[in-house]
Every structure is written in structure tokens, then in C-alpha cells.
Amino acid sequence: MGIFLALNLLVANVLFPPSSPKTISLPYNVFIANLKAGDVTSITSTGNAIQGTFRHPTAASAKSSNKALHFTTQMPTFAGGQLETLLEQHNVTINAQVQSTPALLELLYSFGPTLLFLLIFIWFIRRTASSANGGLFSLGRSQARLYDPERPSATFTDVAGIEEAKAELEEIVDFLRQPAKYERLGGEVPKGVLLVGLPGTGKTLLARAVAGEAGVPFFSISASEFIEMVVGVGASRVRDLFAKAKAAAPAIIFVDELDAIGRSRSVGPSFGGHDEREQTLNQILTEMDGFDSRQGVIVLAATNRADVLDSALLRPGRFDRRVMVLPPDRVGRAAILKIHTRGVPLGDDVDLNNLASQTPGLVGAELRNLVNEAALLAARKGRPAVTMADFTESLEKVLLGAARQIVLSADDRERTAYHESGHALLGLLVPEADPVRRVSIVPRGRALGVTVQSPVDDRQNYPESYLRARIVGALGGRAAEKLIYDVVTTGAESDLQQVTSIARQMVVRWGMSPKIGPLNLSEDPSDQSSMMMSQHSYSEATAQVIDAEVRRIVEECFEKALMLLDENREKLVALTGALLKEESLNEEQILQVTGLAAKPKALPPPIRGIDGRVAAGEPEPAVPSAGAG
């Protein structure tokens, strides 16, 4: 019955609306004229709008034949108050209506904003609830990414150059595959393994390879993803992550950049127990204490800053084992290059072992970038395969930056050529110096030219003769300018910085000064207070002796550089001429122009201490030495 009545009202009011009386619209002055003529009987005012009734059917104008008893007009805003007097004089019935808003609009104005806010909120909730991270109500859920164990992204065959670290983790893989082998003798596999190494050495790749070899679920998350602006979210995500891993056991949890939340609680500003990072760290410590390694859950973590981690993380029972992921040696770099060039067509002249010997100090990520740059360069030149020249040019780009298209004057170009020829020639003349791989006067980065030297094999020990050879070679550019032009320029700035650093370390760090003796007077980098206050652990008198010894070493090496270049002036001029003509010369071309013999391909064994271990020493980062002009 209700539906029938609703349909009846719809048909009656919408399809067949009630007819309204015929009405005409009058100009206001015509309305006033009819009012004065006594032809208006009544009016109804709604604001400035006036509706009324005539005594007789009337037209809007004399020319119009359209007549009606009802009319409408609009009173101008500038009209005076005479209308009421005229209406009373002619006995016109006056009605008034309040201008009202329709009920539907009233409801819309009253509840519209609230309804709009509710609709937007519901849309936001439904959208975030269907997102991959679980939406607004999943702040406490872990954001860890789960890798499919059936399709591992990496295995140990993809890892090279870090064999020691790989061997340390093989035990972890073996335990996940056959835990009974270790449990039968009461042994326990470490709950946590901390991978420590420089950026790009392959820590994350090594963790993925462990998961790929073990064939178990691999939960990967960055430590910074635990932190939110809402206090308590990080601890909740830690609990959720460990709960998921326990449910999927055996499994691996990998936390990258652990130092983001694992910094020592005794260093830096803290806000007590309400600090979000401290709560997250406390929850990690609790979770690692709360599970048994026999459950098959192992925590891997990676960091570049093991020195800033909280000591509670490193105690036995949490991260029991620390694996150092060191930069690869020459053999390791060759293996890494072999992996990264598996899908790259190589030219017949490419020797990966030779390329590895030219890249000391480069880590896996940098070697991968080197291969990629060489492939892009070869493709840009339209070559069918990547040649050794592409690798050499890409190495210069990686180490020094892209070539700059600047125009040098003839004098600056010649001076730069002599500068770089001085570096290269001394690299050949000094027996202890590293072999010269390439010399170029193509501007790159901030340098107008470059001489690249690198050892045949990696060095683990640096004799004093080698360090002096480095200083002599670095001063070769200034010595060549002094010999040819009898003036010096600003082009040797980077060379002098390198020279000063090596000479000072020889005196204060390695005890290679007879006046200072076998003392280590270098500052401890961890002692921030003394460094900020510019305090030394030695007296002012000792400081003066140190300065004098540094100056003596540098001046002796400079005199040697001048002497060698003066004795081989013809070779210096010939090398400069070839460099001005070709702009870049490789090792074979340099030997051919100078007529000098190549350095021996094998280095003598490193000097060993009394206990048989290789002595440690690093005058500077082990990258190809480059003399910039």
C-alpha cells in the first residue's frame, strides 16, 4: 500500500503537476501606473519580489495582447518609501512572506559538510585498508618484505671476492638445511650474525645469498622502517616481525643499516624510556633473548658503523658472530668482474685480471658500476662488444668524473702536458713506484690532467722506500714545471695535499723519522674532545720537530724528483710531445715513447713481522694513485 501511495504521489506531482494561474511580468513603472489607476487589488511581497492581482485582465504594455489577472514585478533597491503610501491610498490588500530556504537545501547546508567529511574518511579507510602495507590500522605491523624461497634472488654463485665472509656463513646455511647435525652434540648456532663492512662490499647481497642457499623464508627490512612518529610503533613492528618469522620457521630475518636504531644509548640526546629508538632497540634485545636458536630463526644484520652500536647488541646470546666483509683483493676483484660481465659481450683484448690489478680498493658495487659504464660507452659508440679501451675510459670516469669540454690555451695545455709527463716519467724511473697505467691531459672533474698508477698486486705492507716513491711521483708535476719554466703554479694543489698527508703519517704514525723515533703520535679519531680542543698528546717542542721532519722528507723527495727529471730531460720532452699529440697514452705507448722498460709483473712477498703475520699499514685509501694537473 505504501509503495502504491508513493507511486501515486510521484505520478500526480511529477508527471502531472498542478497547473498554476496565468501570470505576466510587469516593469516596475507599469506596476506603479496600474496602482495609481486603482487597477491593483492585492499584492504579496517576498523581499524585493512583488506578486499581485488586477481587478481586470491587464496586459504588460499597450502593444501586448497577452492579458492576465496575476502579475509579478521586482522593486528596485533605489525605490523610496512611497510605495506603502500609494497602496494604502488605493485600498490594496498588502501581504508579506518571509523568504525561506527549501527544506532540502536547509538539510544540505546543515549536514552537508559532516556528510562530506564522513564520505572522505570512509574512502580513505577503504583505500588504505586495501594497500599492500595494511593501511591506517596496520601501523604496528612489520613492513618486512618476504622473498620467495622457491625463487631466490641470489645464491653463493653470485657472490665473489669475499670468500672469508662466505665461509663464515656457510655454517648458517648448513644449520638451516640440517639442524639435527648440530643439535645432536648440544651445539647451538648463533642467534645473530652481524655483517660489518664498508658500503658496497656486498653485505646485503651476502644475506640474500644465505637465504637463497638455505631455501627458507627471508624477511628483509631496513632498520629505519621501524621508526614512526607515533611512539611505540617501532616496538610493535619488531614484535610482529619476530612473530611472523617464528610462524614461518626455519626463517631468516635480515635488518639492514642496523645502526639506525642500534646506536649506543649512552651517546647523544635521549628522552628516557619514551624515546622511540630506545624502545625499538629494547624490543629487539628482548626478542633476541626470548627465542631459542633451535626454533630455526636466525637474525642477520648489516652495518657500516659497528663502532657506534650499543654494547648490549654485541654481547653473546644476541649477535654472537661478527663477520667482517672487507674490500676484495686482486683475485677477488677479477672474480667479481667475471660475475658482472656474464651477460656482457667482451672484446678479444679484454683481460679481467689486468683490469682487476688496475682497480685496487674498489668494492663490488663500484666494480659493477664500472662494467655498466663500459657497456654504456661501447653501446654509445656503436661497438659490437666492450673493449679494454672502454673499461679504461670508464675507470677514469668512475675515479675522476666525466670529461669536461673546456678549451685550454696553448700555454696551459703545454704546461699541463709537462706536469703529467713529470708524474708519469718518475713513475717509471723510481724502482719502488707503482706502474704507470695511463696518462691523459683530458680535463676531468677539477683536474686538467691525470696520471693513473696502480700496483700489480695488492699491498698489505708499505716500506719506507715505497712511501718515498709515492711522494717523489706526486711531486713530479711541480718538479717538471720548475725544471722547464722555472716557475711553479697552482696546478699541484692536490699533489701537495697527498704529499703532506703521507709525509706526516710517516713521522707521527709509522715511526719513520730518526729524530722522533719509533713512536706513534697520531691522534685517536674516537677522542672527539681532544680533536675539538686542538689538543695534542705531545709537547710543542715535539710538534716543532714533527714539522721539521715532515718538511725534510718532502724537500729530499723534491730534490730527487728534480734530479731524475733533469737527467732524463729528453724523455720528458718526448713524452710531453706525444701527449700533446694524442692527449691520452696507455702503458705500452708510454714505454714506447720513453724507451724505458716495464716494471716487473710480480711483486716481492710482503715483509712479515717476528710473529709471521703481515704488518698493517695504509698511507691512504687503496685506490689508483692519480696526479692531477
357: phi then psi, degrees, rounded to nearest 5? -70, -20
What pLDDT band is residue 136 in, cutting at 50, 70 and 90? very low
Dump pLDDT digits (tens) for 309-323: 888 888 887 888 888
How many CB atoms are located within 10 Å of the residue 194 CB? 25
Show which residues are catalytic.
420
3-state helix, strand, coil in the chain (%, to 5): 50, 15, 35
State yes or no: pLDDT of 626 exceeds 70.
Answer: no
Q: Domain 20-96 maps to which CATH number in 1.10.8.60, 3.20.20.100, 3.30.720.210, 3.30.420.40?
A: 3.30.720.210
Residue 162 corresponds to which cell in the numbers above? 669475499
Q: Domain 407-523+537-628 maps to which CATH number in 3.40.50.620, 3.50.50.60, 1.20.58.760, 1.10.3720.10?
A: 1.20.58.760
Mean pLDDT over residues 317-336, rounded? 86
What pLDDT band is residue 423 in, cutting at 50, 70 and 90? very high
> Buried b vs exposed e over 330-349: b needs ≥16 C-beta within 10 Å?
bebbbbbbebbbeeeebeee
CA-only gyration radius of the chain, Å = 43
**DSSP annotation string for 577-590:** HHHHHHSEEEHHHH
Dump pLDDT digits (tens) for 563-605: 999 999 999 999 999 999 988 888 888 899 888 877 665 444 3
Residue 600 corresponds to which cell in the numbers above? 716487473
Pairing of strands 192-197, 584-586: unpaired
Same fold, 20-96 and 330-399: no
Residue 175 corresponds to which cell in the numbers above? 644449520
State yes or no: pLDDT of 530 exceeds 90.
Answer: no
What pLDDT band is residue 143 in, cutting at 50, 70 and 90? low
The CATH code of domain 330-399 reads 1.10.8.60
Fold classification of 145-325 is Rossmann fold (3.40.50)
Task: Please name every residue paired with 46 in a beta bridge, in sequence order, or none if there are none.
Answer: 49
Domain ranges of the chain: 20-96, 145-325, 330-399, 407-523+537-628
Q: How many whole angstroms from its chain centre is CA 140?
A: 26
State yes or no: pLDDT of 495 exceeds 80.
Answer: yes
Query: Which is more confident, 165 or 225?
Result: 165
What pLDDT band is residue 496 in, cutting at 50, 70 and 90? very high
Task: Flag the least confident range among 160-164, 184-188, 429-433.
Answer: 184-188
Q: How far apart are CA 106 and CA 97, in angstroms?
A: 18
